[in-house]
Chain A
Amino acid sequence: MQWSKFKDKDLVLSLAHGIKQKAKKFDRLRIMHVCGTHENAIARYALRDLLPNNIKLLAGPGCPVCVTSSKDIDAIINYGIKNDCTILTFGDMLRVKGSAYSLLSASKLGLYVKMVYGLDEAIYYAKQAKKDAIFFSVGFETTAAPVASIIKSVNLPENLSFFSVHKYTPNGVLELLKAGKLNIDALILPGHASIVSGLAPYEKVASSFNLPCVAAGFEPVDVLGAILMIINQLEDNICKVENEYERLLNYEGNKLAQKALNDIFDITDSIWRGLGIIKNSGFEFKKTYNYLNAKLKFNIPFSDSYTEEQKGCRCAEVILGTIEPPQCPMYAKICNPHNPVGPCMVSDEGTCRNWWEVKGDI
């Protein structure tokens, strides 16, 4: 089995040595990834420790839990309580605070919420429930496409509807770059989200902003290999989209997944926590599927006053790569996985959570 070689120690050390030698030509390189699972791999394998000081590996807005707005969390809590229905969602969404409550802590206000691993379980629980159920549908295109394909192919119970806060990574990144919010020299593209979207949507990112873009897998060899590919591009004065993750990812992406997305969703503006409204960065149900759209079906009350950040929390800056977690005064003091203040400390994909898991309160 070749797959274990993607963790091979000798290959990892050779790559680290190659990066170190080649990086000498550069004063400073800021390389951002936009996937929470990349941060997980980077922290778990201590990959930053293998890089020279002039290469900064930054975590971008790649955790869907972290970028889900308080406005949406408040709305789903309000609806669940006012209409006495069951809220179904993924486990890592449960502890993220809205303005005042998380889905889990809102249970003391009377909210009934149940954790599911996937939409198949949500369908199962909705069938058991005697009241309405709403699937709080979170995630980038990697999650949106499976949801779309299931809606197309499976008989859904009549009492199940969806509250979509799905987000589309390529447009999110593009708009943040247009707004000048990312100060970076290159991008590591998300391996699994790109399986769905393909790499073509990133061509504009590479060409318009002169950024080398390399899609990477999640083993140490993948991440270091992608960094070396980026350095090779910079050395040759090239800015293009490349694929390090060939064993799973095609340039064209997953056509079945793209069709499912296009059939069910329209691309719309979407609110990202700490970053505001980002143009063309969300998935909302097409009019044909209004009957599944909980926001329309039940006229969920959205409040115009909501709090994205608890006092002192600097998650928005962590998401943009402008600070590292220990620079937040709350990190590991008040905010930890047992008592997360900001969203980046909650999910396995959150940057603060990943740093804490490896470094604790050091």
Chain B
Amino acid sequence: MCIGIPMQIVEVYEDGISGVIEAGGTKKHCFFMLIDNPKVGDYVLVHAGNAISKLDEQEAKENLELIEQCLLGAKGAVE
């Protein structure tokens, strides 16, 4: 039950706290109470029918840079 799945918001209902998310053609109902300002097009991590975090392209890039920095440290040590 703890498996989080990245999905995209395709509809936000009028209540603002729920809507529809999609991944690989599968659509599901989702609650948005745990994220700020859900918008159509946002990528979110979905856990048991709830979005628990937004997924950001820029942060993914920075994340990779962090890993590559660690790797450079390792290569430096090897050399």
In this assembly, does A181 line the interface, its C-beta being within 8 Å of a C-beta of chain B? no
Q: Chain B, interface size: which category? A: 35 or more
CA distance in complex: A196, B6 (Å): 16
Residues of A within 8 A of B6 (CB): 3
CB <8 Å contact, A117 and B49? yes
In this assembly, does A185 line the interface, its C-beta being within 8 Å of a C-beta of chain B? no
Q: Mark B65-79, 1 if CB is under 8 A from A, else 0.
A: 011101101110110
A261 CB, nearest partner CB in chain B, Å = 10
- Given known contacts A19-B74, A37-B2, A348-B3, is B47 in contact with A143 (CB within 8 Å)? yes
Contact of B48 among A1, A90, A225 (CB under 8 A): A90
Residues of B within 8 A of A221 (CB): 64, 67
Residues of A within 8 A of B33 (CB): 146, 149-150, 152-153, 256, 260
In this assembly, does A257 line the interface, its C-beta being within 8 Å of a C-beta of chain B? yes
CB <8 Å contact, A64 and B2? yes
Quick one: closest A residue to B79, CB to CB? Answer: A21
- Extra inter-chain contacts (16) besides given A6-B64, A117-B49, A228-B67, CB under 8 Å: A18-B70, A21-B77, A22-B74, A22-B78, A91-B1, A138-B1, A139-B1, A140-B2, A146-B47, A192-B47, A195-B53, A225-B66, A232-B74, A245-B63, A246-B59, A249-B53
B residues bordering A, Cβ < 8 Å?
A: 1-4, 6, 17-18, 28-29, 31, 33-36, 45, 47-50, 52-53, 55-57, 59-64, 66-68, 70-71, 73-75, 77-78
